[in-house]
Amino acid sequence: MAYFENISLEKGMYHVPGKSFTQVLEELDHSENYRGTPLEGLDAYQRQLKRFDIKVGGPESGSVESFFQCGSSAALFPEYVARAVKLGMEEANKVEDLVATVTKIDALDYRPISASASGEDGSANAGLEPVEEGAELPSTVLRTNKSLVNLKKRGRMLVSSYEALRFQKLDLLTVTLRQIGAYIAGVQIKDAVDVLLNGDGSKPGVTFIEGGNPDYAGFTALWAKLAPYQLNTVAAGTAAIQKLLNIPEFKDAQAGMNFQGTGRLCTPLGAKLIHVPGMAEDKILVLDKNCALEMIQSGEVRTDVDRLIDRQLERAAISVICGFARIFEDAAVGLDCSAGA
């Protein structure tokens, strides 16, 4: 009998500080021990699914009831829910196209640092001129922000009953859970854009250039305003995206074929275009995603572990806690399309 079949699973494995359920399992059942075996490539959680013959997808997908054969198999259900939600977040994730780094913490408070680079003239064009002998080098200043990052809980309440779900196929439930993940990812992108537009409490929102309807000249002005940072990301709402797609310089044949063939939007000045539904229709953000924004995440996907294991699904919460902070203030600027429209 394989060792993973002898592991005792229980609720407490979800409450080990700083560790996920799978990390706790891995410490008890190392994946490296399965190299060269038919179980190679599975993590500790997936081996437990195999142990109880639980199939979460495919033509032979099991039912929700397959998780509740016994107390040990029931302990796997919250991890299944969390993974399905996380998969939906990853599939719909646009936040990674806006943030330079993700900081994971085990707390609800976080005080970030901000950075500024300047030369003798106070501009961000530090280091472009040679330094004379004995002269002071341009500096990059790191400071602790005066205010804490506002971490927000985003999620959904799973409202059902075990009786209603017990015979439902797991692959069908996975579709619903992935949509919950997609919803959370969509709200997070709005939170990120809100910090760029309005500031994070320590740094103000981006500076806007007045422009009226967006055109090629407006984008070259944004490119110049952003220098020396790179203009590699553009974020805009639905109405603004429609205007961008109609700029003549962005409607060349190759861009059109790419959009029609792959669904990827054309990219102004080579930047990645991010559609943010609900964003103000008269605002367009451009930024250097490698310098502009930090994402702070408190833990992973959170579920009501006890309720899920005990089959009390009437109101089971699924949530993620995260926040955003600006890094280099000049690494993002905006175009105000309402001015002169």
Please return the burial class of 128, using the count of CB atoms within 10 Å of its CB with bins 0-12, 13-18 and 19+. exposed
What are the backbone dihedrals phi and psi of residue 19, each rounded to the nearest 5 degrees, phi first? Answer: -135, 140
Rounded Cα gap, residues 57 and 35, in angstroms: 25
Rounded Cα gap, residues 62 and 65, in angstroms: 8
The pLDDT tens digits for 232-268 are 999 999 988 888 888 887 766 555 555 555 555 556 6
Q: What is the pTM for the complete model shown?
A: 0.83
Q: Of 263 and 145, which is predicted with more confidence?
A: 145
Q: Check residue 197 and report its DSSP letter.
A: H
What are the backbone dihedrals phi and psi of residue 265, each rounded to the nearest 5 degrees, phi first? Answer: -70, 150
Residue-wise over 294-329: b if at least 16 C-beta within 10 A, else e?
bbbbbbbbbbbbebbbebebeebebbbbbbbbbbbb
Residue 118: per-residue pLDDT: 63
Residue 210: per-residue pLDDT: 84
Distance of CA 45 to the CA centre of its chain: 23
The pLDDT tens digits for 53-98 are 999 988 889 999 999 999 999 999 999 999 999 999 999 888 888 9
The first and second tokens of residue 258, run together, are: 């790419």
Q: Would you say residue 48 has pLDDT above 80? A: yes
Average pLDDT, the chain: 86
Residue 120: per-residue pLDDT: 45
Q: Check residue 274 and report its DSSP letter.
A: E
Rounded Cα gap, residues 264 and 90, in angstroms: 17
The pLDDT tens digits for 200-218 are 888 889 999 887 778 888 8
The first and second tokens of residue 126, run together, are: 């530090």
Q: How far apart are the first and last CA of the chain?
A: 73
pLDDT average, residue stretch 289-305 = 92
Rounded Cα gap, residues 81 and 178, in angstroms: 9
**Residue matched to tokens 């009501």:** 304
